[in-house]
Amino acid sequence: MAGGEDSCGLPLVGYVRVSTFDQAESGAGLEAQRQTIRAACQRVGRPLLRIIEEQASGKSGKNRPELRRALRLVGRGTAGGIVAAKLDRLSRSVLDFAQLLDRSLREGWPLIVCDLALDTATPEGEAMAHVMMAWAQFERRRISQRTREALAVKRAQGVRLGRPSALTAAMRERIAREKAAGVGWSEIAASLNRDGVPTGHGAVRWHPATVRYIVQSQAASSTEGVASSKLGSRVPSGVTVATDVTHRYP
């Protein structure tokens, strides 16, 4: 396993990526990356094991088999670190690059990015890596906050989130009828399971909480309809009230 002093004498593996969107990149451009990687190895006094080349988009670290191959070489102790000529050759995603930096620091092998003058084996490089990872964490929290706020607005507007239910009106009526007759949530769920009725999302088993949600959502919808009707009856003639119930809870 790579890490700490164990990787200090091992050769480095270079990584070159060709984007699927710039396949016409000149051979001179690729050779420039290779030369930058070789020069970096000489500068830090480490041999170069090989240069791995990949054709893939840089937007995400997913679907990057050659990058995973380079990481495996480091992980099993064949290589002692990874060198890339440019940051955008490793990743164009701040979050993905932060994960790579974190892995480098945790496992104790150097990640060298030449255009940033970043070498995680040095105190300066390690400090820069921590700053970049902190910024990535900040960005993750901002994305999460924006998502929560957007979902809260949708819920306040009555928009149904998630997959639409495929439960038929007849089945909703059956559940409501049984509940009105005094049957408990567990008994209704057991009855639906005995009859082999799939749930609104295609699951094979009903739970009491699912039955309760259906009944309560129907009740909420009925209450909303009554309120809208009363509001309409109070509106003076000649005044139009828009009631958009598209995509609202059933």
Joined tokens for residue 76: 């099993």
Residue 6: pLDDT band with limits 50, 70, 90: low
What average pLDDT does the chain have?
79
What pTM value is reported for the model?
A: 0.54
Residue 210: pLDDT band with limits 50, 70, 90: confident
Whose CA is closest to 211, among 241, 233, 191, 232? 191
Sheet (strand 111-113) strand order: 48-55, 12-18, 82-84, 111-113, 118-119
Identify the structural domains of the chain with CATH numbers, from first to last. 4-139 (3.40.50.1390), 155-217 (no CATH)
Higher pLDDT: 12 or 155? It is: 12
Cα→Cα distances 240→36, 78, 231, 233, 243, Å: 71, 75, 11, 11, 10
User: Would you give the end-to-end CA distance of the chain in angstroms?
Assistant: 56
For 96-125, how does the pLDDT look when each residue is reduced to its tens digit (9 = 90+)?
888 899 999 999 999 999 998 999 999 998
